[in-house]
Amino acid sequence: WPALIILVFIFFTVGGNILVILAVSLEKKLQNATNFFLRSLAVADMLVGVLVMPASLLNILNYSWPLPQVLCPMWIFLDVLFSTASIMHLCAISLDRYIGIRNPIQHSRSNSSCRAMAKITVVWTISMVSLPIPVIGLQDEQKVFVNGTCQLNEPHFVLVGSFVAFFVPLLIMVVCYCLTVKVLQQHTAAFSQDRGSYVNVNPKQPSPQPSVSGISLLNEEPSTNQSKGAAQPLSLSPLTGHEGPPQRGQGRRGMTQAIKNERRASKVLGVVFFLFLVMWCPFFITNVVVAVCQNNCSNLFRLLEVFVWVGYVSSGVNPLVYTLFNKTYRHAFSRHLQCRYH
């Protein structure tokens, strides 16, 4: 029964992340820099479900590594690679969103699809911190086997890898999220104080663009298909159900909606970060403890097998979070499940 439950979870992990990949690839409303990051994150989570979870299940059920020994270090490498990639993607998203909210105009002009793909490439390159694992395992099998089970047993690499791949990115995520919330609060307070200052004397002339904390949240360069002087508000909220910019001419109302959308998007990311923290902290803390006390904590290896599956759960819950909080994702998932593609 536990194996059957795990198989069902693997199926939903793979299927849910495939839906995220399809949604971002096929829905124009979702094709922006943040959602490109989320699509790449879904690729990492999907590969966890395809390449990592099944072998981990076999490893637990057989109480020993059932596959050829040469595959053990490769499996550990993939496990660390995709898990690190998930962490690095969330770290990059939090950092990118803080920069985007702090300097929206400059960020929007430089945040093209090509730049987003370049950033994603950097994230995957950093995730290759697990590359030495196959070399270590092939040189000494004792470094990747513990009582017959496939498990990394190199204390120095475990310590360095845990801090580089989890604790440092986690600190960056927390700091960026707190700074993002602080900037949004400043924007809200500043806009609330200044919103009475913009009075349109001539109804034929457009209202001036409201600015928050001295930075205009509207695009200063109107597009050619807009009426003269009407600027296209900057869309900053790809994670909420209100993608796309407000209608032109909304002025103060458009600014208020943009701030509300950003606050909703921050709440969604806050849920993702919190779930990630709760699910991966037990594994990495135990991992560090085992690496420090080494042979005196051999009984904790079984506990690691439980905690790593708690971490795997984070690969399956992200599509659920998007579905619950994002109307566009929800509608896209519904259409794709019915094979109705746009």
Note the pLDDT of residue 154: 85
Lowest-pLDDT range of 43-57, 227-241, 278-292, 298-312: 227-241
Note the pLDDT of residue 49: 92
Amino acid found at 200:
N
pLDDT band at 110 (very low <50, low <70, confident <90, very high): low
Among residues 25, 29, 23, the alpha carbon closest in space to that of 243 is found at 29
Distance CA 266, CA 243 (A): 14
Percentage, residues of the chain above pLDDT 70? 76
pLDDT band at 195 (very low <50, low <70, confident <90, very high): low
Percentage, residues of the chain above pLDDT 90? 15
Does the pLDDT at position 99 exceed 60? Answer: yes
Burial (Cβ within 10 Å: 0-12, 13-18, ≥19) of residue 90: buried
pLDDT band at 6 (very low <50, low <70, confident <90, very high): confident
pLDDT band at 274 (very low <50, low <70, confident <90, very high): confident
Does the pLDDT at position 237 exceed 60? Answer: no
Distance CA 295, CA 60 (A): 21
CATH 1.10.357.10 assigned to domain 2-192+233-244+251-337? The reply is no
- The mean pLDDT of 325-334, rounded to a whole number, is 85
Lowest-pLDDT range of 141-155, 213-227, 243-257, 312-326: 213-227
pLDDT band at 298 (very low <50, low <70, confident <90, very high): low
Contacts of 204 by beta carbon, 8 Å cutoff, 6+ apart? none
Are 273 and 319 within 8 A, CB to CB?
no
Lowest-pLDDT range of 89-93, 181-185, 236-240, 266-270: 236-240
- The mean pLDDT of 92-101, rounded to a whole number, is 84
Note the pLDDT of residue 105: 64
Does the pLDDT at position 140 exceed 60? Answer: yes
